[in-house]
Structure 1
């Protein structure tokens, strides 16, 4: 009798073990500002794959990580609180509409761009980043397209490039006339990659060269994202 009971108990353990493992795999740790550890590193890694987090992975839930979470929540129509709870983590880890390419990200887009859009994007890339690396060129295109998608800026590439604030153009090449220079093949290629969704600077909407401009307002009011070549990028 005792042997039979032990056999039944053993069988139950074998049956329940996989179930226990499933529940264990579904467990999560709520991550928020000041959280630290491997779970934060994992969160940062996933955010980086999707183009929301663009600095080194340090396992510390600071202001940059919080802003990355907020931007991800905005894009995915989640509760916007900057906290990586169960809903946010599930959406993040199950995200399947993006494909990583190195440190950049490809994202699907419903927007259609014309040859004229490509020309103007290549022109601003050439004017702003002719001496930068290829990644730096794509990054400038990334910023222009982020502005197009933002409610804070005009909704066309041409409109973004030629936007004025208090009679001052937002981009110096417009004032200098270099915006009309013929773009190089590399700038055209960088523009195409940006239009196809490559986002080396994630959701950044501002950039400047610290060696040429102070960028005081940007530094004081925006969140630093990363630096590529001579340009610092902010969101």
Structure 2
């Protein structure tokens, strides 16, 4: 009799565990829709913005503008049109957004640091991504790279056209490592080559961090 009770108890425990796992699996991929808020909406808005669908401020609030951006993305990609960022919409959006990020980040890395050591390549990606996160710069990789100040590009490769050169495999890998969290220069926002530029404003106004190859990095 005791054996039967133990066996029955084990069956109940197993069933409860299976229900818990199933419930967790079904909720791990949260649908985002009108009224949703939080960091997941921020990521959604940034991805839509990188693709040119969302042109408002990234605020983490799924309102009418975000919903319309999702619908337009769904229309263009011929998937279910409901204004809800579900599994299909997010999978397609995030995979393409990552490709765009690698595309542009690898090009600025190659143009700025093709002859630098690998750590120096990753460091350039690190700086670009730090700028994306900083409120003092545009909040997309493309925006940071093509930012102008008083009519002058912030990155020389934009001015001379080398931003469009095909990146090397190491530059592409450096871009991926940067996007995956590699931070050889911490929170640095600036870098320059002292043999090519005095970097006067940077030296006077920012804190030196470290040197990698021919580049010096400043916070």
Do the two structures share a fold, i.e. TM-score over 0.5? yes
Which runs of no fewer than 5 residues in structure 1 stay unpaired?
A: 1-111
Q: Deviations over 1:71-111 (max 9, x none)?
A: xxxxxxxxxxxxxxxxxxxxxxxxxxxxxxxxxxxxxxxxx
Alignment partner for residue 131 of structure 1, among 97, 115, 127?
A: 115
Distance between the aligned counterparts of 1:114 and 1:129, measured in 2? Answer: 21
Alignment partner for residue 181 of structure 2, among 181, 197, 201?
A: 197
Q: Deviations over 1:157-199 (max 9, x none)?
A: 0000000000000000000000000000000000000000000
Distance between the aligned counterparts of 1:188 and 1:119, measured in 2? Answer: 8
Alignment partner for residue 213 of structure 1, among 173, 197, 201?
A: 197
Find the residue that maps to 2:204 and give its secondary structure: helix
* Highest RCO, 1 vs 2 (Cα 8 Å, sep ≥ 6): 1
Q: Which residue of 1 aligns with 2:215?
A: 231
TM-score, L = length of structure 1: 0.52
TM-score, L = length of structure 2: 0.56
Q: Which residue of 2 aligns with 1:164?
A: 148
Distance between the aligned counterparts of 1:122 and 1:186, measured in 2? Answer: 9
Find the residue that maps to 2:209 and give its secondary structure: strand
Distance between the aligned counterparts of 1:179 and 1:195, measured in 2? Answer: 19
Residue 117 of structure 1 deviates from its aligned partner by 1.1
What pairs up with 1:8-87 in 2 under 5 angstroms?
none
Task: List structure 1 runs of 4+ shifted beyond 6 angstroms.
Answer: none
Find the residue that maps to 1:114 and give its secondary structure: helix
Q: Deviations over 1:8-57 (max 9, x none)?
A: xxxxxxxxxxxxxxxxxxxxxxxxxxxxxxxxxxxxxxxxxxxxxxxxxx
Alignment partner for residue 154 of structure 1, among 138, 146, 149?
A: 138
Q: Which residue of 1 aligns with 2:161?
A: 177
Residue 132 of structure 1 deviates from its aligned partner by 0.2
Q: Which has the higher helix share?
A: 2
Find the residue that maps to 2:184 and give its secondary structure: coil
Which runs of no fewer than 5 residues in structure 2 stay unpaired?
A: 1-93
Aligned CA-pair RMSD = 0.8
Find the residue that maps to 2:173 and give its secondary structure: helix
Find the residue that maps to 1:153 and give its secondary structure: coil
